């Protein structure tokens, strides 16, 4: 098995009201709710996973929704923009949909020769839809209202905002195998050729910008994809050998993870494809049940009583 990072695995953000978050991503954006579980470190808080039919790496957006959470502030030292790939000709559909559901958005614009449409989720998290130069052939999840011909295909990429990009860029190139592609002003684009989707990382350099403040509407971390635990531990040893403080392997039920903070302040995770989202409920029932990590199953009645109602 070649020891490579294969683009993005997932991105995790913080939300406010659980029901509002759930409704926006499933009903407005048309993503599939893959898992309804709890935060490993705070089991009184949900952990939602959204993505395509089976939770393919590169499509998975997850949230920790905290009822009454303060609104965060995007800034340097964090991921500040999540981009989804969409098909050519879909912007009219999405603009009409954003108007219908009172979603804040900007008119379409262009960067690096590709058109994009920026919008905000209910907590102010910044997202965008991108029409890639090369058609994204991934099969999307579709709903009654969001059909395949307009649906999101999964991640296009993510933007990291930094006071100084140099050491972050070195992590991308020297550790994670990304290469510099192009520059536009203070935006620097990096990509991996290990995969042709969910493979873009943009670094935006803002030397005088304030540090971001975590809270609802901000990103918590981004996760890079590896095939299995063998490759995961290759990266553990490589990163530790370079002096970074990296965690031991952590079992997240649906994947195994390592975490380290890159020099610019962004929390990076490396996550495996295995074992996947089909290990604890049938594929046609993903997201329908409250699934608890084994250590919290004895507390099910207590947790069900304190978790926010979603119906």
pLDDT tens track, the chain, 311 positions: 489 999 999 999 999 999 999 999 999 999 999 999 999 999 999 999 999 999 999 999 999 999 989 999 999 999 999 999 999 999 999 999 999 999 999 999 999 999 999 999 999 999 999 999 999 999 999 999 999 999 999 999 999 999 999 999 999 999 999 999 999 999 999 999 999 999 999 999 999 999 999 999 999 999 999 999 999 999 999 999 999 999 999 999 999 999 999 999 999 999 999 999 999 999 999 999 999 999 999 999 999 999 999 98
The pair of structure tokens assigned to 35 is: 């898992």
- Asked if the structure places residue 1 within a domain, the reply is no
Which DSSP state fits 22? H
The domain total for the chain is: 1
Phi/psi of residue 259, nearest 5 degrees: -130, 140
Ramachandran category for residue 50: left, alpha or beta (phi over 0 → left; psi -120 to 50 → alpha): beta
CATH number, position 198: 3.10.180.10
- Asked if the structure places residue 3 within a domain, the reply is no
Q: Listing from the earlier edge strand, what are the strands of the sheet with 200-205?
A: 109-111, 114-120, 126-130, 78-85, 155-162, 200-205, 187-191, 179-184
**Global model pTM greater than 0.85:** yes
Full domain range(s) for residue 138: 8-306
């Amino acid at each position: 098995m070649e020891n490579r990072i294969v683009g993005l695995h997932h991105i995790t953000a913080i939300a406010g009201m659980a029901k509002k978050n759930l409704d926006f991503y499933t009903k407005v954006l048309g993503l599939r709710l893959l898992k309804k579980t709890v935060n490993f470190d705070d089991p009184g808080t949900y952990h939602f996973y959204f993505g395509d039919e089976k939770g393919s790496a590169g499509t998975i957006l997850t949230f920790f929704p905290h009822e009454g959470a303060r609104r965060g502030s995007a800034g340097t030292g964090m991921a500040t923009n999540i981009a989804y790939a969409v098909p050519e000709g879909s912007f009219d559909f999405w603009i009409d949909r954003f108007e219908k559901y009172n979603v804040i958005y900007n008119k379409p614009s262009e960067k690096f020769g590709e058109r994009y449409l920026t919008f905000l989720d209910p907590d102010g998290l910044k997202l965008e839809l991108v029409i890639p130069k090369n058609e994204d052939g991934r099969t999307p999840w579709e709903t009654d209202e969001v059909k395949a011909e307009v649906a999101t295909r999964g991640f296009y990429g993510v933007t990291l905002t930094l006071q100084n990009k140099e050491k972050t860029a070195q992590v991308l190139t020297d550790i994670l195998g990304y290469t510099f592609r192009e520059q536009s002003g203070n935006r620097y684009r990096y990509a991996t050729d290990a995969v042709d989707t969910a493979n873009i990382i943009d670094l935006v350099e803002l030397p005088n910008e304030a540090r971001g403040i975590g809270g609802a509407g901000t990103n918590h971390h981004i996760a890079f994809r590896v095939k299995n635990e063998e490759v995961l531990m290759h990266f553990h040893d490589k990163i530790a050998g370079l002096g970074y403080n990296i965690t031991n392997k952590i079992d997240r039920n649906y994947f195994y993870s390592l975490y380290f903070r890159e020099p610019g302040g962004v929390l990076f995770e490396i996550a495996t494809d295995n074992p996947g989202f089909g290990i604890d409920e049938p594929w046609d029932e993903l997201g329908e049940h409250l699934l608890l990590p084994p250590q919290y199953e004895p507390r099910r009645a207590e947790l069900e009583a304190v978790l926010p109602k979603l119906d």
